[in-house]
Structure formats: structure tokens, C-alpha cells
Chains A and B, each alone.
Chain A
Amino acid sequence: MRYESPATTKDAVALLAKEKGQAFVLAGGTDLLVKMKAGMLEPDLVVDIKRIKGMKEIKKTASGFSIGAAVPCAALKENAALVKTWPGVVEGASLIGSKQVQGRCTMAGNLCNASPAADSVPGLVAAGAKVVIAGPRGTRKLAVEDVPAGVGRTVLKKGEFISAIELPKKPARSGDAYLRFIPRTEMDIAVVSAGVSLTLDAKGVITAARVALGAVAPTVLLVKEAAKAIIGSKLDDEAKARLTAAASAAARPIDDKRGTKEFRIDVAGVLARRAAELAYARAGGK
């Protein structure tokens, strides 16, 4: 196995593109190294992206935030502007692992590991985040929800990797939230999760919303029907009931060691509703 830590994006792309065997990007390594240690992966090449300039920066841009692919989740929480603007996104990322894991793990790694239960992903999807992909043919952008292709698979092509995650500018009177269900209080994997982002008008009526569900399908789900269920409402009980039903209806989970199908369907609705309540309050709704 070779280990490389290139200084530029170009070099990283070249290394990844050229490798004939199995090549992996290394960000925080909290998935990659664990899998290597367990013998689940035996890479021929590991390309560490942490030395690439700008990869560990959080930038405020004209169109929102740009978060370098190697920014550890602990750094997100320390960025006051980001926490204020996208509390739900930071909430999701902050739930990953423990203090030790937080110092290493990244949102891009969380996304590319492509677990349906990835904690930072529903929040990003609800926020309408995009990824910047560097590759042999230059850069391209993609909505976060379009990155995972299935359990453990992404749509990234050979030589491509994510260089940054972009969060849009947030409209006035907007709020977001992320909730996950775990049987314990920490150090656990989401059995079901929900991210909600919404915008209100001056009267507190929801004008726009995005609802994302995690761990109820092979990839994170952006549930348009759930958003529709609350747009135009003040998140009254009826709207909440519609949201709960729509989220449960969209869930298509499996029975596994972490929970039953029936449980996940029920709790998907509950969490979507609770996240919406939180987001609504954060947007200033009463």
C-alpha cells in the first residue's frame, strides 16, 4: 500500500486517476482506517487530502459558506457564524462519534462513506447544500442528495473527489434542525434521522421547506411530500399530522440489528415532526 499526501488538488486528482489498483481518499480516516484495520478494505493507494491548501478552511462567500473537505467537525462548532446560520447542519455534524472522533471526522467523509445513517447528511440535504467535485476534467457541482448511489457507493468517478461543501445563503426567517434516534445517548448510529429546513413569511406561514430522512432507505431521502405537507401552514396540529404521515409514508426501511421496519417508519414521522417544530421555532415562528 502506498500513502501519498499531495499539496495540490491537481496532484491529488492525478494520483487518484493514475492508480490501477484500489485508491481511497483519506480525510479524517474515522471510517477508512477503521475498515482497513478490520480487514474490510485493503487499498493499494491512500491519498491524504489534509495537506492540500484550503482544504481545512471554512470560508464565508457571497453565496453562503464554503467548507473545505478536510475540515474536522469539531471546527464547525467553533465557527460562530456557521452555527448561527445553519444550526441544524452543525448539529448533525457534531453528533458524529465522540470528542476524539470529532477532532478528525469530516462531513465530506461522512457523505462519501455513504452510510444511509450518516449524521451530517440529512441536515446538509435539508439545507440545500452542494458539493464541489474536483476531477480529471475540472470541477463540477452536485446537490448533496445526488452524491450517494447506494449503501457504501457514491456517484464519484475515477479520479474525482470532493474538495468542498457549499451551503447557500440563508433567507430571512429561516431555521433548520436535525434529530436522530439512537437507543443510547451517544456513541451510536442513527436508527432513524430527520433534517428539516424551512422559511417563514412575516406572518409565520411556511413558504419553503425541505425535509430529509436518514436511515430509512439505502440513501438519504429528500421527501418532497413532507415539505408540501407543511408549506402554507403555521405548523399547526393538522400540518404536523400531515408531515408525520408523509414522512412515515416515504420511509422504506429494512429490519436489521439496529431496528425494525415498523419502528423506523413510525419514528421517521415523529422525528420529522419534532425537527420541524425545532426549525420553526428557530425561524422565529410561534
Chain B
Amino acid sequence: MPLDTSLVRKQFKVIGTRVRRPDGIDKVTGRAKYGADAFAPGQLIGLVLRSPHAHARIKKIDISKAEKLQGVKAVITAADLPDLTGGDRGMRDILENCMARSKALYDGHAVAAVAAVDAHTAKQALKLIKIDYEVLPHVTDVDEALKPGAPLIHDDIFTDGIEPKPTKPSNFCKLAEYGHGDVEAGFKEADFVIEKSYKTEQTHQGYIEPHACLANVSPDGVAELWVTTQGPFVYRNHCAALLGLDANKLRVTASEIGGGFGGKTHVWAEPLALALSRKANRPVKLTMTRDEVFRATGPTSSASIDVKVGVKKDGTVTAAFAELRYQNGAFPFTWAEFGAMTAFACYDFKNVKTVSRDAVVNRPKCAAYRAPSAPIAAFAVESTMDMAAKAIGMDPIDFRIKNAAREGTKSSYGPVFGPIGIGPTLEAAKKHAHWNAPLGENQGRGMACGFWFNFGGQTCVDLNVTPDGSVTVALGTIDVGGSRASMALAVAEELGVAYEQVRCVVADTSSLGHNDMTDGSRGTFSSSMAAVDAARKAIHTMRERAAKIWEIPLDEVEWIDGQAKAVGEKHGNKAPLSIKEIAAQAANTGGPIAGHSEIVADGAGVSFATHICDAEVDPETGRTSIKRYTVIQDAGKAMHPSYVEGQYQGGAAQGIGWALNEEYIYGKDGRLQNAGFLDYRIPVCSDLPFIDTQILEIPNPNHPYGVRGVGETSIVPPLGAIGNAISNAAGVRLNHVPMSPPRVLKAIKDAR
């Protein structure tokens, strides 16, 4: 029975209500178990030794002294993780990132690890490991890395996307192009051409919970891993491949997660914990320090972007061009290409072109960060769009409405859009009280738009009706933003029972088929599709059971309001059968009642948002404070509006931090100087105004309830919205993020 995803429901009973979250009590009382909260008898403490150099050849590692220290049970280096990747470049890069092989590629790159009876002993052991480094020239800036003659990070990267393929290796890992029309001709038609270059610094997801795991490998080759992760199945597949285990021998259980935002989609130290456990034959607990989290996990790219927009006096954009250069950290990826795809996606331009140049540098391997790459591109594009509106004296919202993409628009990255929300969010912004409110002294208002693709992917859900007629649901996409509540709502909606009658859990990797990670705003979209499917299958089974009990044909049994009903004149006197009653008789009617769903959740609807921001700039210090902030975003259908609002607010909060203060600061020596929350400044509570939200619902035709992912788009507009607000408050255009006080003050002084 294929899942009918057609939008049949317009009226909902429980979808869209603000029910109490199932994990709330545990989380506020401290009972919830996170990555570092697991213990095993005889567990050892694992610690990682990291390179202090940005780029260095590892000539020799001497672990003999560390191994001899009393209490040390295992010391590992790359030699304990032989390359089993069989020519798969992606997997080999993951392996090399987990543990440096011939070269340390960034400050913080793991070079060895120990497991000892306690943390003190493990720390002593790290000091006893002697490494002979040959320090090499390094490069951390993307534009520098792309220059000929830059220090070469890998000798086997030959730029993808250039024909013929270069024969000389470089740091330039991929070239890509998107767009349509003829931009050169378009610029000739323009009354004004606005050109500007931008830079954004590297930021970290800043999840409060550091990476932590408990690995336990038994001598018979069976292993368990308890870990904080966005993707237990992906962690299983990767760890098993790197360690040479069959996937079924490694059971990964996801803990509660204290934030991930993309940073927990990659394995980092988990393979090391497993390798240590294997060597020591004891369980190993490994918890990163904050310093390690910053130096060796997760950040998003820093970038350098040129944008050119041609505009006619009537507001028509005649052509738009952007070249985007992003660094991917020490390993090749396509983060700039993501930027190139998203850059102009909000708009319907006749002539549009983007070129992306991806580079490797001596920094930690970049990971996804909430709508990865898009906020950076949007900062450059939305700033330039704002300048274009100013150049022709048009209101920035009207200007964007005039150029907004709509249903049927061929997007700048290729696909033709279905029903989308960019126009409606702009119209809503224009009507919003915030847009029309008065401003105080030194204050300015800005707005910006944002886009994210959203993703679906492989999903698997198990639903079981218990003998007492309540319902359990096992999910494989971990709950990072409240999806357990949303899945329970979907199942309750389908079965026609109360929300409280459904309990969802996140299952381990041995209990369900493969699920993709909770990323790409896919968790609620794809899992609810599978949950609806599983519930409908369970309903089918329950109808069969009722038919059997009643001894009537299946097609004379309907499922209405949580009960089986016999339909037709002749069954008029049959009392309906509730789930409870059907479940009670399961043993006699065919056994336990369940519903399974295994799908590829296609058709994730694209997502758009418009943000409005009021900033106040102190003209004497360059300090910016955000006075008012409004997020307007299309959710398709908000299954649990409070969680949707939470996603809108969370993305905006992270965007505000990124826009104003967050940045990786490297010294000339290539070492990260601010690997801690004191000097890597994420906003604290008092830095933020209440973030107002408005949910629009333009249904996604590919989902049974019209749901679109909502988790990521909210971080896309803030950088541009704040840059535009600052420009209106202080009369200066910032082209370098973060727009920290020294940069803003300098811009103000330069303008005087």
C-alpha cells in the first residue's frame, strides 16, 4: 500500500495544537540522559592529544612512555586505525579527520589518544606522548588559499568542475556554476549596477553540549556506542566502516541531544573511543572539552563573496551575479556550491549567474550549520539588494515583492518552484506592525529574506499497539527540536485517539532500518510522513481484526474516530470496536498489532522567510544592540506551533550572534585564539529582544498535512537584516561579518 501523500486533510483534530512535550519534565529536572551521562562498569576515560600546529608533518610518534604509565590501558595513533576505506575519498577524509595520518592539518587535529583508569592518569599520559613535528607553512584564509603558490594542504586535490581537469594539485577543490539567461546583456540594460565585495568569518554552531560518548567493544567483535548525535545510523555506518565491523555488530544508541545544528552530523572522536575500547578491552568514555569542540569540530565556512546586481529605475532587476569563495576546512567539500545555489533563490531574475569556488585551508573540517552556507550568501545578496533599492529610491520590501520568485519560477539553481512562501512572507512583513513602528535615536530598521531547500530522505518508523490499547512509536530520526511530540500528534490524528495515548521513543540502530540524520530540516517532515504511513497501516490491520471478530468482509469495516465501525444497514446493531477492545483480542485474531513504514520522503517543500530587525548603534563605540526582531516564515503546516516558533526564534538568535560578534580568530601562527565561550561570543539572554514570530501556512502538496521543514531557514536572513538595519541606523554599509564594535566604529570613522 503506497503512502497517499495527497493533501486530503484540511480539518485537523490535534495537529496544530500546543500539547505538552513528552521530554519536558526529564529535561528540566535533570533526569534526561545526555552524551556524557552514561556509565559502564569498569569504564576508562579517553582523552585525545591534538596538534598545536596548523600544518605539520608528523615525523615520529613515541607512545612508549605513555603506555608504561600505571593506569594507562590503551594508547592509539593512526596505526591503530588502518585505512579500510578502499579508495572511497569521502570515507578516507573522515578517517583522516578523526586521526591525523602523515600530517596534522589544523590546530586541534587529533594525533593520538589514550584510555586510562581516570582522567588524571589520562592527562599525565598525554604529556608522555612525544611527537616529532616538522612544521609546514600554513594558510587559513580562503582567498589566500586559492592563490597560486599557497601552502598546499593535500597533494591529491585536482579541481573538480574544470575541463580539462588540472594536472597540478591545489587547494581549489571545486568550481561550480548556476543560473540562466545572459547576465552580461542584462547588466547593459540596467540603469544602475551595484557591486560590492563581502567577507564573513567562521562561526561555530555553539551547541551547549560537547561531544560525548561511551564506547564498549567486546572481544567477540560486537560493539555498543552511546553517543550524542544527530544521526545514530550514519554514526553506526561510518564507525563500522572505519573500524572494519559489520554494521549489525555495532549498536548505536542516541542520547538526548544538547544542541547540534549540524555539528553532530559527523563522527569526530567516536571512532577513537571505539578503537581505544577495542584495544583496552574495556568500555571507554570520551567527553570533549569546550576547547576541543571549538578547535576540532563543527564550524561553518568563512567566506569571501563578490555580488553584482543590475536594476532599472522601475525596480526590475535586469541581471544578478555572484562569485562565492568558501573554505571547507582541511578537507574538500562543496560548501561554496551550496552558497551559489541558495544565493538568489528568493528571486525571479531573467538573467542570473553564480560561480562557486570551494577551497581547503588549515582549519577544522567544516560541518553543516543550520541551512549551511546560505546565511553567508544571503548576507552578501541581501545587502546588495538593499543598496539597489536605495539607489532607485524604492522601499526595500516593495523592491523584493517586485522581484520575488513565485509558483512556476525557474529558480536560480535550476528547479521550477511549486507553491512557495516568499511573496506571502514579504506581503505579511509589509503589513506587520513592526515594519511601520516609529524608531528612536540612533536606531535603524532593516529587513532581509532567506531560502532553504529542505530535505526528506530515508525514513523508517515502527508503530506498535500495546495489549492495553495504547500506542508506542519507535523513531529513527533523533528528536532535536520536539519531533517526538509532533510524531505523537500525527499518529493520534490518524488513529483518532488522544495525544496522550501515543508515546514516541527514539530507537537504537539495531531496532529499526536505516534512517538519515536529523538534518536538512527533515526530521518532522519525513518522520511524520512515515508515522502517518505506519498509522494508516495499523488502521488497516485493526480493520482486518474487527472484520474477523465480526465475521464480515473487510470493506464493510470503516475506521472512524478511533474505532472500527461496521457500515451498512445489516450491521446497524453492532457496537463499534475501540483500539482497546481490538488490542485485547489480538492473541486470538492474528497476534500483535503494528504498523511499519519504510520510505524515501520525497518532495520536501522549499522554505522562505522574511525578517525585520531594529538595531541601535552607539556612534561613539560602534556597539550594536538589537531592539526589536520579527520572523515571518512559511511552515507549510505547523504541526506544533510552539515548536515552530521555537525554531524561528532559535535561528534568529543564532543569526544575531553571528551577525554581531561570533568569529573564529586565528593568530599568525595558525592557532585558534578564542576556543571558548568567553571570547567566542554567542549572545547571552540579555543580548536579545523577545523575538516575535508569524507563522504562514502555504501547504506543501507533497506531504499529507502540507508540512515543510522549518528548522533552518530562520538563520538565513538575520545577517543581511542586521547589516541593513545598521546601515540605516549609522549611515554606514558593513561588508564584513561579524559586524563587531571595532568594525562598525571604524566604518563610522572612515565615513566622517
Contact = CB atoms under 8 A, between A and B. Distances in A.
Given A181-B741, A183-B681, A262-B742, A257 B623 contact: no
A183 B679 contact: no
A39 interface: yes
Central interface residue in A184, A187, A260, by most chain B CB within 10 Å: A184
B746 interface: yes
A267 interface: yes
A259 interface: yes
A184 B661 contact: yes
B108 to A, nearest CB: 15
A188 interface: yes
A223 to B, nearest CB: 19
A3 interface: no
B707 to A, nearest CB: 36
Contacts of B660: 183
B683 interface: yes
Interface in A15-45: 38-39
Contacts of A186: 684, 686
A184 B621 contact: no
B123 interface: yes
Nearest to B686: A185
Contacts of B673: 256-257
Given A39-B123, A183-B623, A266-B745, A257 B665 contact: yes
B621 A258 contact: no
Interface in A259-284: 259-260, 262-263, 266-267, 270
A219 B267 CA distance: 44
A262 B746 CA distance: 9
Contact of A263 (B674, B679, B686, B741): B741
A39 B745 CA distance: 37
Contact of A183 (B123, B661, B686, B746): B661
Given A39-B123, A257-B673, A270 B621 contact: yes
A262 to B, nearest CB: 7
Interface in B638-694: 660-661, 665, 673-674, 678-679, 681, 683-684, 686-687
Interface in B111-154: 123
Contacts of B679: 189, 257-258
Central interface residue in A191, A256, A257, A259, by most chain B CB within 10 Å: A257
Nearest to A39: B123
A-side interface mostly: loop
B684 A260 contact: no
B281 interface: no
Given A263-B741, A263-B742, A263-B745, A185 B621 contact: no
Interface in A231-273: 256-260, 262-263, 266-267, 270
A257 B674 contact: yes
Interface in B600-628: 620-623, 625
B430 to A, nearest CB: 31
A152 B673 CA distance: 18
A185 B687 contact: yes
Nearest to A255: B742
B742 A185 contact: no
A187 B684 contact: yes
B740 interface: yes
A253 B740 CA distance: 18
Contacts of B740: 183
Contact of A184 (B123, B622, B687): B687
Contacts of B742: 259-260, 262-263
B621 A181 contact: yes
A187 B620 CA distance: 22
Given A183-B660, A188-B681, A257-B665, A270 B741 contact: no
A263 B661 contact: no
Nearest to A261: B742
Contacts of B622: 263
A257 B678 CA distance: 11
Contacts of A38: 291
A191 B749 CA distance: 19
Contacts of A262: 742, 746
A185 B684 contact: yes
A189 B684 contact: no
Nearest to B741: A183
A122 B745 CA distance: 24
A186 to B, nearest CB: 6
A266 B684 CA distance: 26
Contacts of B123: 39
Nearest to B667: A257
A184 B625 CA distance: 9
A184 B745 contact: no
Contacts of B621: 181, 266-267, 270
A188 B674 CA distance: 13
Given A39-B123, A263-B742, A189 B686 contact: no
Contacts of B678: 187-189
A260 B743 CA distance: 9
Interface in A203-251: none
A270 B623 contact: no
B361 to A, nearest CB: 19
A127 B521 CA distance: 56
A184 B746 contact: no
Given A257-B673, A263-B741, A184 B683 contact: yes
Interface in A161-198: 181, 183-189, 191
A46 to B, nearest CB: 16
Interface string B396-417: 0000000000000000000000
A40 to B, nearest CB: 11
Contacts of A183: 623, 660-661, 681, 740-741
A276 B623 CA distance: 20
Contacts of A257: 665, 673-674, 679
Nearest to B678: A189
Contacts of A191: 741
Contacts of B741: 181, 183, 191, 259, 263, 267
Interface in A56-93: none
Contacts of B746: 260, 262-263
Contacts of A181: 621, 623, 741
Central interface residue in B621, B681, B746, by most chain A CB within 10 Å: B621
Contacts of B745: 263, 266-267
Pick the 3 closest A-B CB pairs, nearest first: A263-B742, A185-B686, A270-B620
Interface of B: 123, 291, 620-623, 625, 660-661, 665, 673-674, 678-679, 681, 683-684, 686-687, 740-742, 745-746, 749
13 contacts: A39-B123, A183-B661, A185-B625, A185-B684, A186-B686, A187-B684, A189-B679, A258-B679, A260-B746, A263-B741, A263-B746, A267-B621, A270-B620
Given A181-B741, A185-B686, 20 more contacts: A38-B291, A183-B660, A183-B681, A184-B684, A184-B687, A186-B686, A187-B684, A188-B681, A257-B673, A257-B674, A258-B679, A259-B741, A259-B742, A262-B746, A263-B742, A266-B620, A267-B621, A267-B741, A270-B620, A270-B621
